[in-house]
Structure 1
Amino acid sequence: MTLLPIIAAVVLLVLLIAVLKAPPFVAFIISALAAALMLGMPLAKIPASMEHGIGDLLGSLAGVIILGAMFGKLIADSGAAERIAESLTRLFGQKRFPIAMTFTGFIVGIPLYYNVGFVLMVPLIFSITYRAKLPAVYVGMPLLAGLSIAHGFLPPHPSPTALVTQFGADLGTTLIYGLIVGIPTLLIAGPLFSTTLKGIVGAPSTLFKPSDTRSTDLPGAFNSFVCALLPVILIGIATALAYSPGLSPEQKSLIGFVGNPTIVLLLSVVIATVALGTARGRPLGEIMEGFGTAVRDIATILMIIGGAGALKQVLIDSGADVQLAGLLQDIPLPPLMLGWLIAFVIRIALGSATVAGLTAASLVHPLVIATHVDPNLMVLAVGAGSLMCSHVNDSGFWMFKEYFGLSLRDTFRSWSLMETIVGLCGLVFVLMLSLFVG
């Protein structure tokens, strides 16, 4: 029976990561090998299948993810992220700090990977907290909600970008849908939810008490906003132009080239290197050193994505994907809700949102083909499920607890509940959007 080997492989994956603390790449490879053997694949074909899966998934993603890491590193090191936060805070005023922090997290979260954005923004949160004499959790939660939503829903972040490839979705369309779903989710999980957190008072270490940053050392607000949002702007323009009537084949080809995610990010890196770097007097060698650090930091994520590709390909080459599609179709749930639920269960078991999303995609992929569900919406549904219920097996849970000096109870009450609201609202808005575009 096909279902039992697949369940056994997923359970093995959970045990290897959660119990034995194996590196996710190694856990994926072992689980893919076990699945192939249990599914009766010929021994001679197993290595080739796994290698094909790794190369197939990484081949289309490596450039996007590496360039995205370089771009995010530049946004962080140049001070553009801090300038964005300062500008939004000044625009909205102290009475609307949660709204300012919400949009800061969302805008900064587009180019920055989650952990980088978290570490970068925490000193800013405490700087505002000390100046305004407001509870740190109340100020910080909307910003962290913005980071989380960008991480789960918006390319070029690794997980949604990988899901786009897994499901055969369109990156530009997914980005537009992600904004449509993400913004109302953000308003609920950010400023609205934060109003319930004023009573939570943490005891952060003095280590996190910020030093004053000279505003004159930061890039200008216009420069910072334009550079940080440049990938979104370019992809959005290219996607909109692609639907314009009367385009010649040459024009379509040019739009497709310029709108390719790798080309978009390459252009963004080059422009930001000048606008935020050399034009402001930063040595080119220093910028390139930062790029090298970013590439090293992203290696683990690339390995995880490659391992997920091996598991996916084994399921395809063994024929299990067709049988699995038939089994999943019999479950009395809409495909989008089922994809969300599978990602949710794996998230609870493993902790990592990226691993949960990619594992769920391997299982749900045949259902997308069989039911003709909109793959762009499935990317968002799985992404929403992968953010659900962050708890003690998630590194983000502990980062939040320790940085903000909270008890376990208050961490569950604030952080875990925020992530759950993001996952639930994300699903609701995806289902609502499917009524119009599905």
Structure 2
Amino acid sequence: MPCRSSTPSDGPADPPATRPTVQRGTDMPLLVVGISVLILLFLMTKLRVNGFAALLLVAVGVGLVQGIPVAEIPDILSDGIGGQIGDTMLTIGLGAMVGRVMGDSGAAQRIAGKLLDAFGPRWVQVAMVVTAMLIGVTMFYEVAFVIIVPVAFTIVRVTGANLLWVGLPMSIALSTMHSFLPPHPGPTAVAATFHASVGLTLFYGLFIAVPIGALIALVWPRLPFVRAMNPSIPKGLVSERVFADEEMPGMAWSLSVALFPVVLIAGAAVTDMAVSGSNPFLHFVAFIGSAPIALLLTLLLAIWAFGPRIGRSLADVSASCTSAAQAMAMILLVIGAGGAFKQVLVDGGISDYIKDLTHGWPVSPIILAWLIAVILRVALGSATVAVVTASGVVLPLLAGSGVHPELMVLAVSCGSIAFSHVNDPGFWMFKEYFNLSVIDAIKARTTYTTVLAILGLGGVLVVEWALNVLNL
């Protein structure tokens, strides 16, 4: 894939473990996971321990209980943090800078104003869902998130709407696109394992992802327990200034800069799917279509377009970038610590335990693939381990089962999004950007990811039934 990056996203894009896992520790590793989550919640909610420190403390404790040698634990923590925030730091950092430069110039307000004019305040959620789905078809969750979220923040500031009322539909739509559909790395990798057609997987997946994602995106902000939350926009991520119409850049420039990384990343993804072989042109397309490079080029374009071109000094633009970087520091630390927690669970051999536990279950291959992915996702927080292990377990069952391999891909992929919670680095990104408490983040995100996975499985089973009826 041309734009793979390690990511704290919903979908299967986490970096794999850096060392072989072995079965070690207790005979009940799932109990260890459950207790570690409860301890983490206690530290953060009752004792008010900083999220970064709490995650590292719990990660060390899990490593000791699972029998990982003391000398190896620091290296595992470093691997987990490094693997999680390697490309993630580039993506989130550059995306935040682009968003702040657009916000401080009035470009984000221009786009937000046009969306409000086109859809009206009453339909702003529909605007966010449509935007997120169009952009999220080919872009990683976190890349699309950092591109769109400044517009969501600006809409909230201009209209006075609840942050989750505007931002949650965007996040849900992006989660759906990232988790269900190629060319995102999880579904693409599983398609290769099952020898499934990427094109057919995308075709079937759209029939499932679009209606389910839109339904949850529009329903979830209306639920009483979500409407009771009213978080504020995190400081430093959006301009506080309200611009007059004549002070803002034109819509053409504002939209062009916002869509520039979308064009680069989507173009590279489509080229990779449509063109085979190897030549310098394809390598160049893959290079500029990688998320960090696409966002770096976008930042350079934004600095000129919303700086000297409209009379702003480079010093002012640089101050916007610095402000964004300062605001991102704790977010990146917490995401990195989430990666460390996940890595300790992976290296503790929990995935091997679950693989052995589920071996031989007399269940439909589609349901078994989904269920194994769900269990691994809950235990480890790693979508990569979930999809790779689940696909490996059920691959022997696929031959002679009559199940379409494309539907197996979708079953594994949608299972890997379920129950996003404190061992998922993407959970912490969601929590920090929407300025939520841990409990509120669990109420909002863990519930929507779980329902999304369950309805996704239902959609896969419906498509399987339809294909069988049509004899396809």
Q: What residue number does 1:67 align with?
A: 94
Q: Distance in 1 between matches of 2:190 and 2:332?
A: 20
Q: What is the RMSD of the two structures over their aligned residues, measured on CA atoms?
A: 5.0
Residue aligned with 1:386, SS: coil
Where do 1:238-317 residues align within 5 Å? 238-245=268-275, 247-317=277-347
Residues 317-363 of structure 1 deviation map (CA, whole Å, 9 limit, x = unaligned):
343332233335678654445655776x79xxxxxxxxxxx835487
The question of whether the paired residues in 1 share the 8 Å contact of 2:383 and 2:417 is answered with no
- Cα deviations by residue, 1:22-78 (Å, 9 ceiling, x for unpaired): 222222222221122112222222222222222222223221221122122223222
Matches within 5 A, 1:33-432: 33-92=60-119, 99-100=126-127, 103=130, 110=144, 112=146, 119-126=153-160, 143-149=166-172, 152=175, 180=206, 183-185=210-212, 187-189=214-216, 213-245=243-275, 247-327=277-357, 333-336=367-370, 339=373, 359=381, 361=383, 364=386, 367-368=389-390, 370-371=392-393, 381-383=415-417, 385-386=419-420, 424-425=451-452, 427-429=454-456, 432=459
Q: What SS class does the counterpart of residue 28 from structure 2 fall into?
A: helix
CA distance in 2, matches of 1:254, 1:397: 33
Per-residue CA deviation, residues 96-145 of structure 1 (Å, 9 max, x unaligned), is 6664465578779945479866543223224xxxxxxxxx67xx876334
* Distance across 2 between alignment mates of 1:22 and 1:395: 16
CA contact (8 A) 2:97 2:299 kept: yes
Equivalent position of 2:54 in the other structure: 27
User: Matches of 1:147 and 1:30 in 2, distance apart?
Assistant: 33
Structure 1 residue 148 displacement after superposition: 2.7
- CA deviation vs aligned residue, 1:193-237 (integer Å, no higher than 9, x gap): 88999xx99999xxxxx9974222222122222222222221111
Q: CA separation of 1:142/1:33 partners in 2, compared to 1, >3 Å: closer, same or farther?
A: closer
Question: In structure 1, how many angstroms separate the alpha carbons of the residues matched to 2:31 and 2:147?
Answer: 31
What's the offset of the Cα at 1:241?
0.7
- CA–CA distance in structure 2, aligned partners of residues 418 and 324 of structure 1: 24
Q: CA distance change for structure 1 residues 148 and 101 in 2, over 3 Å: closer, same or farther? A: closer
Amino acid at match of 2:389: L
> Could you tell me which amino acid in structure 2 is paired with residue 31 of structure 1?
V
Q: Which residue in the other structure is 1:405 paired with? A: none
Alpha-carbon distance in 2 for matches of 1:235, 1:397: 23
Amino acid at match of 1:122: V
Structure 1 position 14 matched with structure 2 position 48: no
Partner of 1:4: 28
Unaligned runs of 5+ in 1: 127-135, 156-162, 205-209, 347-357, 388-393, 401-410
Q: How many residues align?
A: 380
CA deviations on 1:139-181 (whole Å, 9 max, x unpaired) are x8763343332664577xxxxxxx969x9799xx9xx89x957
Question: How does the TM-score come out when normalised to structure 1?
Answer: 0.66
Relative to the length of structure 2, the TM-score reads: 0.62
Q: Which has the higher helix share?
A: 1
Separation in 2, partners of 1:398, 1:251: 40
Deviation at 1:7, TM superposition (A): 3.0
In the alignment, the residues of structure 2 paired with residue 2 and residue 203 of structure 1 have an alpha-carbon distance, to the nearest angstrom, of 42
C-alpha distance in structure 2 between counterparts of 1:266 and 1:202, whole Å = 35
Deviations 1:212-268 (CA, angstroms, capped at 9, x unpaired): 742222221222222222222211110001123354332332222111111111111
Q: CA offsets, 1:81-106, max 9 Å, x none?
A: 22122223333467866644655787
- Which residue type is aligned with residue 359 of structure 1? G
- For the residues of structure 2 that align with 1:19 and 1:201, how far apart are their CA atoms? 21
Instruction: Report the alpha carbon displacement of residue 189 of structure 1 after superposing the two structures with TM.
Output: 4.5
Distance 1:362 1:96 in 2: 36
Whole-angstrom distance in 2 between the partners of 1:368 and 1:288: 46
With 17-26 and 140-149 compared, the bigger mean Cα shift is at 140-149
Q: Does the Cα contact within 8 Å between 1:185 and 1:426 map onto a contact in 2? A: no
- How far off is 1:282 after superposition? 1.8
SS state at 1:282 partner: coil
Cα distance, 1:228–1:430 mapped onto 2, change above 3 Å:
farther
With over 3 angstroms needed to count, the CA separation of the structure-2 counterparts of 1:141 and 1:41, relative to structure 1, is closer
Cα separation, 1, equivalents of 2:445 and 2:348:
40
Q: Percent identity?
A: 24
* CA deviation vs aligned residue, 1:267-321 (integer Å, no higher than 9, x gap): 1111122223331222211111111121122222222232222233333434333
Please tell me whether the aligned partners of residues 368 and 375 of structure 1 are also in contact (alpha carbons under 8 angstroms).
Answer: no
